[in-house]
Amino acid sequence: MLRTISNTVNNDSIIVKNLKLQSIVGLDAWNARNPQTCLISMTLNTNFKESSATDDLKFSLNYAVLCNDITNLAQSKKEWKSVYAFSNAISSYTMNKYEQVDKLNLDVQLTNAHLRTQNVSFQVGIDRNDKIPASKYMLIKNLDLFTLIGVFNFERLQKQKLSLDIKLPVTDEHSDIPFKTIIDKVVTYTEGANFKTVEALGECIIKLVSQDPFYQDTAFLHSLIEVTVIKHNAITETDGVGISCARSPEEVVSNPTIKLNGTKESSESNGYNMPVDQSTAIATTSTDINTKYNTAYLAFGSNVGDRVSNIKLAFDALKRENEKIVILDQSSFFESEPMYFKDQEPFINGCIKIKTILSPHELLRVCKHIEYEVLGRVKHFDNGPRSIDLDIVLYQNADNEPILINDEDLIIPHPRMLERSFVLEPLCQLLPPTTRHPITAEPIWNHLDELYAKGNDEDNLWLVTPLPGKTLNTKKEKFLKFKTVTVKDPITNLSKRESVSPTYIMHILNVTPDSFSDGGKYYSPENISTTLHHLVQVTQEVLKLHDCIIIDVGGCSTRPNSEQVSEKNELGRVIPIISAIRTCKELPKDKVIISVDTYRSTVSQQAFEAGADIVNDISGGAFDSNMFSQSARIGGGYVLSHTRGTISTMNKLTDYTWKNTDVMEGKYVHYISGKEIDPKNEQLTLITTIGQELSVRFLAALDSGLHRGQMILDPGLGFAKNLDQNLEIIRTIPLLKNYSCVTPDGRFVTFKNLPILLGPSRKKFIGTITMEPEPHNRDFATGSVVASCIGYGTDIVRVHDSINCSKSVKIADKIYKKV
């Protein structure tokens, strides 16, 4: 007897959970028509109140019979075209045979439809009393993926597990849903993405699915696609947290098209498009990559043979690419202990910034050619010794958008850059503090601070200034070496770099008749032996406490208002003594470094030919237009000093107030320790002004071919500074060592890690404080000032009385640098 249909709401249900069947339902995970396990779950809304009251099954639905019927139905056909057809057959059969069922919710799960999940199911919802069509959905559940996602730095460095559920609408007219293609696209997209929020990822997956041709039909314009995203390791006290969102194709159609690596869309853009983090708007598209200049940052390293020569040969090979590669900037050189395989020599590392029309893979091929063909690198094992290593760290297209690549040949950004101080430290000399890592979305400077915060000794590097070392008569390398560490400033709570290496003593040797403190004392062109005898005594005493000594030879007084001698006379004074020092058997060649105190390029060139290692230019290249280019050709160290005006006018140019430095306003962006600061701050006006003016000369030096690895900074005590300003400079050396700026034309300059030289010896401001008019009587006070300079982070002190000051330096190093 047929059951009378009524409008009574029934609250009873018969449940079948995971009825297991073996059947051919479309194609399996291997795209073959093989039987696979199907799990049938049903909830059938009915009324079994009478059966409950009488405890008689005849007034209810016999689920044993139901399960047998469904099993027979499944086996009635050799194969089913699709899960849609199979599910439709079950739902139609059930509603037709069992008229006491008011509502049916059916879930047909395939366990081997796709290799990425064992839970692809089709869901049907039918209400006999409703006139609306049955609801039908494809549900992809527990799709396990690994991707970069999260707001914390540690989440940006390692992929973590996600589970996705995707609910896809289907109609009777559009039933052949390409769920395998959709799964593949979602997997490719998600595992190549880098999001901070699951909210953004969820919506982007809906947009990706909506772009499939299947859902471009107007029939689905208002249908909801639902995505659930669960992060398993976000909160340790839970099994997972996440979001669920539903959007129609109409809602997301106006958004930019998502392009996948390897699809037709990306190949039209040279194959460098990858899923993009919409929450941080990191661009990864590549525009005209082979016709416009792009920017790349390369890390270099060498630990075999003459390391600096290897690096220079590699640079020469890059330059031979002509217009294809142009080196724009170079970091300092840093010496590091081997990181992974310890039993090998230390490395010289650094980074360069280049512009190139080469694609990333073309650039990689050039780098490998230089490594193996030009410099003959032999790779015995990973992370082993090498004559040169050139790695692409970052790559940006012509629009300064970061390019992300992850294939078997190349990964950009470099996957291990964030664990290597020998990459991050030099890289931060080339990048403003605001530059973010394209994956983590955190400033790269912050990553360096976090690396140092771990406190690993191997992360602390030695900055090295290569010296010519011609007179060593050996292939042994010769350097000035400086080591700094990151510490927290207790007042500002900012991280900053401080020197922890022994201070160098630069001994002043004035071979002039008119020096302000010792004029004529060592000026004896006819009797150089007297000068050498003095130098031997000084050197022997200093080397009792220190590993080396720098002798600064000056043949032209630069005291304010002094009369400047001719170039010929200056050459006649300095070249003979430099040659004599280099040939003197009583002066140890490997422990004596020679500096020439001159602002003339011809003097510096001949001084280097005679054996000098460093040029100490008090003008910062301003008095001789050839000084920078000449120093670049010569090599060796270069002391970039701050001054104003000329020898005769500098003492009148001591106004550093804001009104006279308004050139900075609205043009320069100033940073201390990577934090933007206001140069109008009265406490910072002096140091930001000096920093900016040094930056102008610094960039001019770089443009002329000098590189950071050659440069030593001298803020110029006594040159265009009054007493209070000299004292303030000493106090603010930590700020100068941590100063950076961005110029009006967008160029970045940082003095991060560059060594600082100060020359307070016998200066007028010391005499003013101590009321001592005679310069040669200021040596004791000079020792006190030198100790203070070291306490504030000075790396080289230039003094007259080196024997006694060497003792002050030794004590100050023990107190302040703990060396």
Q: What is the pLDDT of residues 714-745, one digit of tens each?
A: 999 999 999 999 999 999 999 999 999 999 88
Mean pLDDT of 227-232: 93
3, 100 contact by CB (below 8 A): yes
Domain assignment of residue 492, yes or no: no
Q: What is the pLDDT of residues 19-60, one digit of tens each?
A: 999 999 999 998 999 999 999 999 999 999 888 888 888 888
Count Cβ atoms within 10 A of the Cβ of residue 55 and give its class: 0-12 exposed, 13-18 middle, 19 or more buried: exposed
**Catalytic status, residue 130:** no
**Between these two residues, 323 and 811, which has the higher pLDDT value?**
811
Catalytic residue among 116, 156, 247, 377, which? 377
Closest CA to 88 of 111, 67, 104, 68: 104
pLDDT for 475 equals: 55
CATH code of the domain covering residue 432: 3.30.70.560
Task: Specify whether 80 is located in the same domain as 174.
Answer: yes
Rg value, the chain, Cα: 38
Domain assignment of residue 216, yes or no: yes
pLDDT for 661 equals: 46
Domain assignment of residue 446, yes or no: yes
Q: What is the pLDDT of residues 410-439, one digit of tens each?
A: 999 998 899 889 999 999 999 999 999 988
Domain assignment of residue 261, yes or no: no
Which amino acid appears at position 604 of this protein?
Answer: S
The proportion of the chain whose per-residue pLDDT surpasses 70, expressed as a percent, equals: 88
Mean pLDDT of the chain: 87
Task: Specify whether 334 is located in the same domain as 414.
Answer: yes
Task: Specify whether 251 is located in the same domain as 298.
Answer: no
Domain assignment of residue 489, yes or no: no
Domain assignment of residue 48, yes or no: yes
Catalytic residue among 116, 247, 307, 386, which? 386
Task: Specify whether 228 is located in the same domain as 370.
Answer: no
Task: Specify whether 577 is located in the same domain as 452.
Answer: no
Task: Specify whether 548 is located in the same domain as 640.
Answer: yes
Task: Specify whether 379 is located in the same domain as 445.
Answer: yes
Q: What is the pLDDT of residues 634-687, one digit of tens each?
A: 889 999 999 999 988 998 999 998 654 444 455 889 999 899 998 778 889 999
Compute the C-alpha angle 329/330/332, nearest 5°.
Answer: 145
Residue 784 is encoded by which pair of tokens? 């006190």
pLDDT for 381 equals: 53
Residue 506: enclosing H or E segment and its boundaries? strand 504-510
Task: Specify whether 301 is located in the same domain as 424.
Answer: yes
**Catalytic status, residue 547:** no
Task: Out of 165-179, 228-242, 399-413, give the one with best mean pLDDT.
Answer: 165-179
788-815 burial string, b = 16+ CB within 10 Å, else e? Answer: bbbebbbbbbbbbbbbbbbebbbebbee
Question: Would you place residue 772 in the very low, low, confident or very high pLDDT band (cuts 50, 70, 90)?
Answer: very high
Per the document, the length of the chain is: 819
The C-alpha torsion from 570 through 572 and 578 to 580, rounded to 10°, is -160
Question: Would you place residue 12 in the very low, low, confident or very high pLDDT band (cuts 50, 70, 90)?
Answer: very high
Domain boundary among 460, 475, 496: 460
CATH code of the domain covering residue 531: 3.20.20.20
pLDDT for 383 equals: 59
Question: Would you place residue 525 in the very low, low, confident or very high pLDDT band (cuts 50, 70, 90)?
Answer: low
Question: Would you place residue 263 in the very low, low, confident or very high pLDDT band (cuts 50, 70, 90)?
Answer: very low
Structural domain tally of the chain?
3
pLDDT for 442 equals: 87
CATH code of the domain covering residue 173: 3.10.270.10
The proportion of the chain whose per-residue pLDDT surpasses 90, expressed as a percent, equals: 63
Question: Would you place residue 791 in the very low, low, confident or very high pLDDT band (cuts 50, 70, 90)?
Answer: very high
Catalytic residue among 165, 277, 389, 597, which? 389
Domain assignment of residue 635, yes or no: yes
Task: Specify whether 430 is located in the same domain as 368.
Answer: yes
Residue 428 is encoded by which pair of tokens? 């931060």
Task: Specify whether 631 is located in the same domain as 695.
Answer: yes
Task: Specify whether 301 is located in the same domain as 244.
Answer: no
Q: What is the pLDDT of residues 465-484, one digit of tens each?
A: 999 865 444 557 889 999 98
**Catalytic status, residue 386:** yes
Mean pLDDT of 782-791: 96
Residue 65 is encoded by which pair of tokens? 């019979």
Question: Would you place residue 440 in the very low, low, confident or very high pLDDT band (cuts 50, 70, 90)?
Answer: confident
The whole domain housing 233 covers 12-255
Q: Which residue has the tokens 């004590």?
A: 811
Domain boundary among 398, 428, 460: 460
Q: Which of 9-23, 699-713, 797-811 has the lowest mean pLDDT?
A: 9-23
DSSP string, 660-707: G-GGGTTT-EEEETTEEE-TT-TTTHHHHHHHHHHHHHHHHHHHTT--
pLDDT for 384 equals: 62
pLDDT for 184 equals: 93
Question: Would you place residue 492 in the very low, low, confident or very high pLDDT band (cuts 50, 70, 90)?
Answer: low
Task: Specify whether 234 is located in the same domain as 120.
Answer: yes
C-alpha 277/C-alpha 442 separation (Å) is: 13
Q: Return phi, psi of residue 590, to 5°.
A: -85, -5
Question: Would you place residue 168 in the very low, low, confident or very high pLDDT band (cuts 50, 70, 90)?
Answer: very high
Mean pLDDT of 601-627: 96
Residue 798: enclosing H or E segment and its boundaries? strand 796-799
Q: Kindly give, in sequence order, each residue whose CB lies less than 8 Å from that of residue 603, ignoring residues fewer than 6 positions away.
A: 555, 567, 570, 571, 574, 596
Catalytic residue among 107, 391, 597, 714, which? 391
Q: Kindly give, in sequence order, each residue whose CB lies less than 8 Å from that of residue 21, ignoring residues fewer than 6 positions away.
A: 37, 38, 39, 40, 70, 71, 74, 75
Domain assignment of residue 510, yes or no: yes
Domain boundary among 255, 286, 307: 255
